[in-house]
Amino acid sequence: MTASPDLGTPRLSAPELFRSVFRRHAAGVAVITAHGTHPVGFTATSLASVAAEPPLLSFGVGKGSSSWPVIAEAEHVGVHVLGEHQRELAATFARSGADRFGPDTGWHTGPEGVPVLDGVLAWLVCRVVARIPAGDHRVVIGEVVAGDPAGAGRPLLYHQGRFNALRD
């Protein structure tokens, strides 16, 4: 880091600046799932609404992710909005090498063969309509084909490198 001569503030490299700013951005926590030869999934904070008609959403996935080879070929994916009671589930799906679909994870096979997690605030199954190159990631665009918005609870957030709950 060096001081900016005109502002007297530290100057960060672009990647450091990017990470520093996005640590301050609170984001909802989702788990993305898919099924190939086996179920895969990962925790995502990049979930975004894209369009209402047709209903489209997006998320980012790293090309180096263990889930990417299955996501790269999947026709459908599951998108799960996590509740504040699911910090451990979020951590499991974020941890490299974790047994994400082991005995501690409640899930069932949902529409289009997609793994659907139990106890989430809401879930969707989406048909993958695009995979867009974006640096070391791909942005996946999905069209909603099924889901359930009726889970109970409050959303889980990611902020300052930690899973957090909303405060009243």
For 135, residues 6+ apart whose C-beta sits below 8 A from its C-beta are: none
With residues binned 3-state (H G I as helix, E B as strand, rest as coil), the percentages for the chain, rounded to 5, are: 20, 45, 35
Q: Residues 6 or more apart from 159 whose CB is under 8 A from it? A: 23, 24, 25, 26, 27
> What is the pLDDT at residue 136?
96
Which DSSP letter does residue 17 get?
A: H
Distance CA 125, CA 127 (A): 7
Hey, where are the domains in the chain?
A: 28-161
Q: How far lies 162's CA from each of 57, 88, 129, in Å?
A: 24, 12, 31
Tens of pLDDT along the chain (168 residues) come to 455 555 556 688 998 998 899 888 889 999 999 999 999 999 999 999 999 999 999 999 999 999 999 999 999 999 999 999 999 999 999 999 889 999 999 999 999 999 999 999 999 999 999 999 999 999 999 999 999 999 999 999 999 999 989 887
**CATH value of 28-161 in 3.40.50.360, 2.160.10.10, 2.30.110.10, 1.10.510.10:** 2.30.110.10
- What's residue 8's pLDDT? 56
Q: Exposed e or buried b for every residue in 31-40, given b needs 16+ CB within 10 A?
A: bbbbbeeebb
Beta bridge partners of 115: 109
